[in-house]
Structure 1
C-alpha cells in the first residue's frame, strides 16, 4: 500500500528560487526514501494561485463584508485557506512544508498559510514537518506573531528546522518545554546541482543579479529605488572599467526588471542585456554559466553555492547575512550602507580567486540531507 507525502510550498511564485526550494526538498526526500517502501508524492500550493475565478470573487466579497462588519479578518482568511487545504490533504500521511521565508508575520500574509495548514493537519491527524524555514523576526505584542507561535507549538508539528535564525526559533517561538525536534540546517537548494543535474561551466563571466527597487525599504533598510538603480549603474561601470565580462539576470520575478530603464538612463544606454528565466531549471542553468555572482536574491547566492560558484550578497534582509556567516564568508555579504561598487567588485574578484574551502562546503551542504534522513527514518518507523 502506498504512503502519501504532501509537499506544501509557494507554487505560484514567479521568484523561481521558491520553486527550486520545492524541487530540491522533494528530490532529497525521494532519495532518502528510495528502496524503503512504496510512496506517492503530491504538492499543495499554499497560495490561492490555482483557485477558480469564481472562488476568488467569493473570497473578495467575504473580505469586504468582514471589513464592513469589523470581524476578525485573519480568522476568516484562515478558514477559507483551510477549506482549500482540506480537500488536498485527505489522503496524505505526512505534510512537509518545504522551506523558504515561512516563519514571518510582517508582510505577504505567509503566517496565515502556516496557521491554516497546521490547523487542517491537526484536524485530519496528519503529522507536519517544517523544513529549513527562514525565521524573520519576532514580537511579543504583535497578535499575528503570537497566532503563528501558537500554531508552531501544536503537537501535530513534529519537527521544525531553520536555515538561519535558530536562536529566535528556539528561544522565542518555541515553548521551553516543547518536545518538537528543532535544528539548524542548510537550505535544500544547496543540492540544486544534484537535483537539476547541473555542473559549473567553464566561464570568465560575472553574473549580476537584479532585484526590485523597493525591496530594501520594505525590509526597513533605508535605500530608495533610485539609490538601488544608481548602485547597479556604478557596479556595471566598475566592472566594465576593469575589462571584466558580465551578464545581468534575475530570478524570474517580473518586479526585478523594474529598475532596468532607470539603470540604462543612469548609464546613458539604449540597451542592456538582461536574462529573465522562465523556469526553475533555466535559472539554475543560467547561474551555472558564471564564474562568480553578485546578487541580492538569497537563492541566486544559494544556487551559486551549490554549484561551487562564489557569490557576493547584497543584504536587504538578515537572511543573506546569516547565510554568509553559515558558509564561513561573512565578508562577501554587504549591507545596504556598504554598497560601494569598487569594494564589491574587489570582493568579487577575490572570491573568484579563493572559491570555497571544500571541507566546509561539503560539511555545510550535508546538513540539509542528513536531517531529512532522520525525519524519514523516524516516520517510517512510526516514531515521528
Structure 2
C-alpha cells in the first residue's frame, strides 16, 4: 500500500495562538487515527498548510499562476482535511471564497474533503455569498462536515446531498492530552489568580455591538479593581493576535498598570497554555482562551461578542458562563466567575470524543472501509494520542516574524487610508482655484 498523504488545512499561520493549539491538536488526532487503523508511522504523511492555501493575491487578481502552489498541494494529496477553522465566514471576511476555490481544485483532482470541527456562520438563503458556498458544498468531493457550533446551518448548507453532518467538540478540548497536564500546585496556596483575556478594539463594531475601545478599557479597569478588592491576583494577557496586543499595550501604558500583572506578548502554544493553566479562573473575550481553559479544567467566563461563544459553553454544559454585552459589567462578570470557580469544570467524555470519533469514521471510510477497527475509547486516547513536540527556536522566530509582518502591513494600510482621506480631490482643487480667481477680480 502506498503512503497515505493527508493535507491538513488550519489557521496555522494565525497570530491567534488558539489557532496554533487547534493545529497541533488536529495533527495529534490524525496521527492517533492512523495508529487506530494500524497504519505504521512510515505509512502516512501529514502536510499541514494554512487554510487560506488560496492566496489573497490570487483572489484579488485571478492570476492562474498564483494557484500553482495550491494545485500542487491538493493534487498530491489523498485527502484534504479542514481542521477547526472558520471556513464558512462571509459576514465581514471573505474566507468563504477561498474555501470555495479549494473545493473546486479538490473536485478537479478527485480528492475527498473532510471538514472537521469547523466554525460555521448562519446559512442565509437570501445572501448570495451563503448561497455560493452551499452550491460549492454540493460537489461530490465533500464527504463530511462536522462543526463546533451551528450544526443546523451546516445541515442547511448540504441539504439535498448525502454529506454526513454532526455537532462535535473543538479539537482544543484535548489540549491537556496533546500538550501535557498542568503542573501540580505547591504545598503553599498563594492568592488565587484570575486571568483577564482582552481583545482588539474594533471587534465589537465588526459584530454590530455598541461597545467602544474606551468601554472595554473601563470594563477591565473596574473588573481588576473589584477582583483585587476581593483578594485575587490578576493577570492581563491576550491569545496572541497583534491587534489584541496593541489594545493591551495601550491600556497598560495609559493606566500605569505594573508589568508584573501583564503578559503583553504571547507567541506560542506553550506560552498561552502557561498563562491559562496558571490561573484559577479566566474571564475572556477570545473563544480559544475559554476552550483551552476548559481543557485544563480552569473555570472561565466567556464574554459573548458573537454566537460562537455561547455555542461552546452550551455544548460543554456550562451555558450560564457565556455572558452577552448587556452583562458586561464588573459586578456581574466577577460574580459569574466566582460561581464557576466554586462549581468547577465538569467534562462529558462522550462529547469530548466526538471530534475524534467522527474524523476517525471519515478517514476510515476513505482508506479502510472494510476494516473492523473501532475508534479508541477515551482512556485509550489519553494513553495513545501523540504529544506535541514543542515549539523550536526556529519555529518561534518564524511566528514572531509573521506577527511583525502583519503588524507592519496593518500600519501601512492605516497610513494609506489616512493619506487617501486627506488627499485633495482634483474637483475640489479646481473649484477652490475658481473661487480664488473670482475673489482676486
Going from structure 1 to structure 2, the CA distance change for 1:95 and 1:340 (only over 3 Å counts) comes to same
**Counterpart in the other structure of 2:423:** none
C-alpha separation between the residues in 2 aligned to 1:105 and 1:369? 27
Indicate conservation of the 8 Å contact 1:213/1:229, yes or no.
no
Q: What's the secondary structure of 2:88's corresponding residue?
A: strand
**Counterpart in the other structure of 1:70:** none
**Counterpart in the other structure of 1:73:** none
Indicate conservation of the 8 Å contact 1:216/1:336, yes or no.
no
Matched, 1:191 2:174: yes
Cα shift at 1:158? 0.2
Indicate conservation of the 8 Å contact 1:201/1:290, yes or no.
no
- RMSD (Å) for aligned C-alpha atoms: 2.4
Cα displacement string for residues 271-304 of structure 1 (whole angstroms, at most 9, x for unaligned residues): 5732222112221222111111110111000001
Larger of the two Rg values belongs to structure: 2
Q: What's the secondary structure of 2:195's corresponding residue?
A: strand
Spell out the pairing of 1:9-20 with structure 2 (5 A cutoff): 9-20=10-21
C-alpha separation between the residues in 2 aligned to 1:218 and 1:200? 38
Cα shift at 1:251? 0.6
Going from structure 1 to structure 2, the CA distance change for 1:212 and 1:80 (only over 3 Å counts) comes to farther
**Counterpart in the other structure of 1:294:** 283
Indicate conservation of the 8 Å contact 1:99/1:134, yes or no.
yes
Cα shift at 1:268? 5.8
Structure 1 unaligned blocks of 5 or more: 67-75
**Counterpart in the other structure of 1:309:** 298
**Counterpart in the other structure of 1:97:** 82
Going from structure 1 to structure 2, the CA distance change for 1:268 and 1:247 (only over 3 Å counts) comes to closer
**Counterpart in the other structure of 2:388:** none
Cα shift at 1:367? 1.3
**Counterpart in the other structure of 2:39:** 36
Matched, 1:174 2:161: no
Indicate conservation of the 8 Å contact 1:96/1:130, yes or no.
yes
C-alpha separation between the residues in 2 aligned to 1:108 and 1:234? 33
Matched, 1:376 2:376: no
Cα shift at 1:246? 1.5
**Counterpart in the other structure of 1:147:** 132
Q: What's the secondary structure of 2:139's corresponding residue?
A: coil
Q: What's the secondary structure of 1:41's corresponding residue?
A: strand
Cα displacement string for residues 311-356 of structure 1 (whole angstroms, at most 9, x for unaligned residues): 1001111100111111111111111121011111111112111112
**Counterpart in the other structure of 1:206:** 194
2:242 to 237, 241, 254: 254
Indicate conservation of the 8 Å contact 2:143/2:362, yes or no.
no
Cα shift at 1:84? 3.4
Structure 2 unaligned blocks of 5 or more: 372-441
C-alpha separation between the residues in 2 aligned to 1:219 and 1:80? 35
Spell out the pairing of 1:325-344 with structure 2 (5 A cutoff): 325-344=314-333
Cα displacement string for residues 221-262 of structure 1 (whole angstroms, at most 9, x for unaligned residues): 221121111111111111111110121111111111223355
Matched, 1:366 2:353: yes
C-alpha separation between the residues in 1 aligned to 2:332 and 2:184? 26
Going from structure 1 to structure 2, the CA distance change for 1:164 and 1:310 (only over 3 Å counts) comes to same
Indicate conservation of the 8 Å contact 2:120/2:153, yes or no.
yes
Q: What's the secondary structure of 2:219's corresponding residue?
A: helix
Matched, 1:241 2:242: no
C-alpha separation between the residues in 2 aligned to 1:208 and 1:147? 39
Spell out the pairing of 1:117-132 with structure 2 (5 A cutoff): 117-132=102-117
- TM-score (norm. length: structure 1): 0.87
1:232 to 198, 209, 220: 220
Indicate conservation of the 8 Å contact 1:201/1:288, yes or no.
no
C-alpha separation between the residues in 2 aligned to 1:200 and 1:380? 39
- TM-score (norm. length: structure 2): 0.76
Going from structure 1 to structure 2, the CA distance change for 1:375 and 1:205 (only over 3 Å counts) comes to same
Q: What's the secondary structure of 2:87's corresponding residue?
A: strand
Spell out the pairing of 1:272-291 with structure 2 (5 A cutoff): 273-275=261-263, 276-291=265-280
Going from structure 1 to structure 2, the CA distance change for 1:298 and 1:81 (only over 3 Å counts) comes to farther
Going from structure 1 to structure 2, the CA distance change for 1:157 and 1:383 (only over 3 Å counts) comes to farther
Q: What's the secondary structure of 1:101's corresponding residue?
A: coil
Task: Decide which moves more: 122-131 or 189-198.
Answer: 189-198
C-alpha separation between the residues in 1 aligned to 2:71 and 2:320? 46
Q: How many matched pairs?
A: 360
